[in-house]
Amino acid sequence: MALPPSVLIVDDEPDNFHVIEFLLYQEGYDLSFARSSTEALDYLSVKSPDVILLDMMMPQFDGIALCHQIKKNPLWCHLPIIMVTVLTAKEDLALCLDAGADDFISKPVNGIELRARIRSMLRMKQQYDELQALLQAREDLSNMIIHDLNNPLAGVLFSCELLKLSPLQPKQLQKVEDILRLSKRMVSLVNSLLIIAKVQTDEFVLEYEQVDLSEMGHTVVTDFEAIVAYRQIKLLYEFPEAGRQIFVDPVILHRVIDNLLSNAIKFSPVGSQVTFRISYPPDAMVKIQVIDCGSGISEESRQRIFEKYDIGTFRKGIPQIGLGLAFCKLAVEAHGGTISIENNAPQGSIFTVVI
């Protein structure tokens, strides 16, 4: 049996609550009352109402301040708020809307108007809840598919390794190597999705170790030797002297660098260069930069390039999924760091990771 819609009434005057209770008694709502903003916040920390009726004029911590606080909290920002006010000036109503209120009603409260506005807010809340349920179902299905992809991919990798041991013609061996390389790329994408899913559900735990990033950098450069040679791109690198170690998750950070370099090489024109830098600045643990000479990224794209499935500007003939940079952002932020992008004048982009 479905629970009745819940309405939280925040007002410092108990008599006002009794008036609203009388006006709504036939609606069958679950009504709760908070006498102050502090009491309302205590209530929200325990329960989540479907609609909030919020009095604008309260002593000390008023309704506008409370509305601001509710709307900036990611756990509560979706809750519809109807501001109840004796003020009718357009400036006051604009103040309510600027604070994040979804609607307002003037005192003395009219029963027909109150019931209509609450029903409107309940429809909005129901639409939000249905959308969230749909998104969660899609996310659960995606995660299930991602998990299930690991087994067949492992079988492909194992079969390729066996084929490499067989007597093959050079062209056949090259095809096996291509399948192996692409399969490893698929495994990397699947692992990125798994990590993104874990980070978003707070299930991801970094496994910190002491790491020499100079050694890691040389390993990464070696891994990319074949692809830069094939694309006729010059890979320049600048690393600090070996010996200094920092405390990071080596597997995750290695994959961040892999993603940034892979993108730089992929979007750089034939014959250009990509620069890979690692340094230990005085104001941070480590700074990593990947600089390319590609077509660059527009200001609009830079605002959303780190979002999942965003591919920036489409490039014909270049596979773009939109997961690599989303993974990088989540992985870097999990380390307590930042990742940013800027133009590389006269052409290209500079990606900077600071931890």
Domain extents for the chain?
6-109, 138-200, 209-354
The pLDDT value given to residue 117: 94
Question: What sign for the dihedral angle of Cα 82, 88, 92, 97?
Answer: positive
Q: Say if CB 296 and CB 348 are below 8 A apart.
A: yes
Question: What sign for the dihedral angle of Cα 116, 121, 127, 129?
Answer: negative
Q: Say if CB 182 and CB 198 are below 8 A apart.
A: no
The pLDDT value given to residue 259: 87
For residues 341 and 197, what is the distance between their CA atoms, to the nearest angstrom?
A: 24
Q: Tens of pLDDT along the chain (355 residues)? A: 678 999 999 999 888 889 999 999 899 999 999 999 999 999 999 999 999 999 988 877 888 999 999 999 989 999 999 999 887 767 778 888 888 999 989 888 999 999 999 999 999 999 999 998 887 887 777 767 777 777 788 888 888 888 888 888 888 888 888 888 778 777 777 776 777 676 666 667 788 999 999 999 999 998 888 888 888 999 999 999 988 999 999 988 988 998 899 889 888 888 899 999 999 999 999 999 999 988 777 677 666 777 754 444 444 444 443 467 888 888 899 899 999 998 877 788 999 999 9
For residues 212 and 260, what is the distance between their CA atoms, to the nearest angstrom?
A: 19
CATH level 3 topology of 6-109: Rossmann fold (3.40.50)
For residues 121 and 103, what is the distance between their CA atoms, to the nearest angstrom?
A: 8
Q: Which pTM value belongs to this model?
A: 0.53
Question: Which residue type is seen at 235?
Answer: L
Q: What is the CATH number of domain 209-354?
A: 3.30.565.10
Q: Say if CB 308 and CB 255 are below 8 A apart.
A: no
